[in-house]
């Protein structure tokens, strides 16, 4: 029974009113694309959508998955021998030569900037051992990310399989995942890249096909796509005033303008509000916890002006007991902050206890963080 008492929660509820958010006018947007979505990167909140969950052909935005798998392989410095099969890939090409050796990193640049189908096959064969092996990895990663309405059948997006499809929502999920990788974000946003040319005295020079990198000042990257059956597909990212957005359009005749319109609506209508600050939690007044409990990370959320008062935070703390007279007996995680938005659970953040010797025990703390988290039921959302 004494052990059970340690798991009792001492509830404390505080309503957080978020002020100082600029006044914003409600905006609307109309897009040409059959499917479209605008998503905020850090939280995954959908700011706009149009038929975003219908399965469609996706063309070369497939290569976002090919790129992130190549980057995560840890083989970017390896030299890849280009096969005859890679050189014979149809459609867009960077004109690789059969038998040439090229750095995997350069192949990924050629993939993302010039949409080379030859680079996609060369990457797939090197990472997966074969096209089929790589496709298995693509679908495995899609399942891991939560792309429930996606199936990959090739590494480039050509219309050579009937079971190659995704949705605007799933492609936004993939891009959100990929953009957490700094190397992917760098490559995606690169305007020009040079790579060695084995048969010439001059280097290859690849210019990014993503026009928004030049035409829209807030664009940070993306991937273009087109096939006769998929029509125009486009994924881009943009950042303004710390608000990071992802736009996806499938079968969008006027996709460049679609993306700009969605971004302008998003930036004008939404602002990133600080819901839970990082650091000491001042609203908890219990004498054991006062000035001793903190969060390691804060939490921000994109909101409109009308939504600024829709948050509240519920703090659930372990009830202190007599064993805590010695600081060593106090758990590192002593509670959780559960954030609600419009009365719906949104995020749960662990609350830590600051000990006098916590810095010297950092490695020990990291080792057992998950154990303590499981014991008191604190979960951290992505």
**Contact, 277 vs 300, CB < 8 A?**
no
Mapped onto helix, strand or coil, the DSSP state of residue 346 is: strand
The strand pairing partners of 312, in sequence order, are: 340
115 is catalytic: yes
Nearest to 209 by CA among 200, 218, 219: 219
**Contact, 313 vs 343, CB < 8 A?**
no
User: Which one is catalytic: 60, 92, 166, 188?
Assistant: 60
Question: Positive or negative, the Cα torsion across 267, 270, 271, 274?
Answer: negative
271 is catalytic: no
Nearest to 192 by CA among 208, 204, 203: 208
Burial (CB < 10 A; 0-12, 13-18, 19+), residue 314, is middle
Distance CA 190, CA 237 (A): 13
Nearest to 50 by CA among 248, 219, 261, 221: 248
User: Which one is catalytic: 50, 56, 63, 347?
Assistant: 63
Distance CA 266, CA 27 (A): 8
**Contact, 255 vs 249, CB < 8 A?**
yes
205 is catalytic: no
The strand pairing partners of 293, in sequence order, are: 353
Distance CA 60, CA 113 (A): 11
List for the chain the helix, strand, coil content (%; round to 5).
30, 25, 40
Mapped onto helix, strand or coil, the DSSP state of residue 245 is: strand
Q: Is 214 annotated as a binding residue?
A: no
Annotated binding-site positions: 223
Annotated binding-site positions for substrate: 223
Task: Provide the annotated active-site residues.
Answer: 60, 63, 115
């Amino acid at each position: 029974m004494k052990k059970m008492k340690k798991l009792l929660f001492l509830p404390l509820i505080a309503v957080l009113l978020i002020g100082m958010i600029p006044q914003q006018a409600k905006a609307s947007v109309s897009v040409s694309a059959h499917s479209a979505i605008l998503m905020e990167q850090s939280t995954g909140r959908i700011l706009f959508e149009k038929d975003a969950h219908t399965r469609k052909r996706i063309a070369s935005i497939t290569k976002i998955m090919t790129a992130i798998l190549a980057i995560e392989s840890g083989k970017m410095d390896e030299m890849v021998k280009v096969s005859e099969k890679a050189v014979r890939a149809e459609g867009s090409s960077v004109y690789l030569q059969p038998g040439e050796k090229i750095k995997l990193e350069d192949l990924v640049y050629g993939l993302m900037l010039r949409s080379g189908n030859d680079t996609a096959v060369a990457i797939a064969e090197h990472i997966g051992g074969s096209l089929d092996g790589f496709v298995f990895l693509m679908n495995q990663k899609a399942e891991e990310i939560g792309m429930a309405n996606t199936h990959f059948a090739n590494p480039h997006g050509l219309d050579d399989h009937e079971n190659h499809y995704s949705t605007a929502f799933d492609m936004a999920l993939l891009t959100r995942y990929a953009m957490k990788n700094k190397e992917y974000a760098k490559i995606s946003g690169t305007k020009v890249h040079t790579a060695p040319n084995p048969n010439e005295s001059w280097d290859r020079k690849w210019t990014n096909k993503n026009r928004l990198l030049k035409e829209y000042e807030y664009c940070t990257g993306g991937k273009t796509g087109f096939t006769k059956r998929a029509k125009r597909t486009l994924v881009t990212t943009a950042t303004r005033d710390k608000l990071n957005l992802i736009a996806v359009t499938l079968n969008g005749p006027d996709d460049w303008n679609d993306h700009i319109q969605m971004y302008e609506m998003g930036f004008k209508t939404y602002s990133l509000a600080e819901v839970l600050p990082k650091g000491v939690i001042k609203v908890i007044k219990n004498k054991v916890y006062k000035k001793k409990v903190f969060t390691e990370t804060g939490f921000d959320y994109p909101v409109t002006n009308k939504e600024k008062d829709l948050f509240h935070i519920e703090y659930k703390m372990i009830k202190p007991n007599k064993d805590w007279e010695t600081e060593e007996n106090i758990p590192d995680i002593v509670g959780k902050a559960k954030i609600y938005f419009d009365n719906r659970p949104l995020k749960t953040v662990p609350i830590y206890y600051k000990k006098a010797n916590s810095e010297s025990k950092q490695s020990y703390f990291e080792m057992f963080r998950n154990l303590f988290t499981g014991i008191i039921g604190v979960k951290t959302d992505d």
